[in-house]
Amino acid sequence: MPLLFSCLLRAPRGGPGGEFSKVFYAQPYILRRRYAKDYIEAKKLLQTNSVLGEILSVRASLYMGSKVRIIDVLWHDGTHLLDAIMFLTDSIAVHRKHFGANVKSKEGTAYLSGFLKPKIPDGKKIPFVIETGAGRDHLVFEIEVSLSKGRLRIGNGVFEVWGSSECTYAAGFRSLAKTTGGFEGPTGYFANMAANAAACVRNPSLKPDSTADDALAVIKYLSCL
């Protein structure tokens, strides 16, 4: 599992002019989107049930080149995608079924389905599916969350929030309309990751925003394939 090692300097021993002691703080690099401002903003929107409603399902797409084995795609950017899904929904992904192309193939499209088990007691399981494959000459990294009152899409170059409103072309129905223009500005994930690492070193009792358990949940899921 790739790790980000932050080398931090503690205060000099023996006061000013003393020798600095080095502290190495390791964070799983696959959890980096937990520190990105756009994903943090998306999670806040999802947690505000009065705006978009209850999360009903999650659908994600991942493509990473035309001649890359699907399983290699999953162990590469798929780790980021899975953790982002679990972060946004505050859940643990559980694998149930794989259909379509063989994950060891460099051709075709594979579908991974299962459910997201909420971390809160008595929370409802959320069905999800990941579409991934080969044959595309472009990168796609997207997550779409379907809710009772709207939809949220987020990914590489994507940040959309769709809300429910009265349909203008079919009486008695409601349709979705985009309510935001998208996230603007740098996501700051690397700076936030380093700042959190430094804060945890300064205060050992502080729980980091990403943990080894979070990374392990991703590895456990992919190991089922």
Q: pLDDT tens digits for 56-68?
A: 999 999 999 888 9
| pLDDT bucket at 29, cuts 50 / 70 / 90 | low
Order the strands of the 109-118 sheet from edge to edge: 91-100, 109-118, 126-133, 55-64, 139-147, 150-155, 158-166, 174-178
CA distance 11 to 23: 11
* pLDDT score at 127: 98
CA distance 150 to 62: 22
Sign of CA dihedral 205, 84, 214, 120: positive
Q: pTM value?
A: 0.84
List pLDDT tens digits, range 107-152: 999 999 999 999 988 889 999 999 999 999 999 999 999 999 999 9
* pLDDT score at 181: 61
Kind and range of the H or E element at 56? strand 55-64
| pLDDT bucket at 4, cuts 50 / 70 / 90 | very low
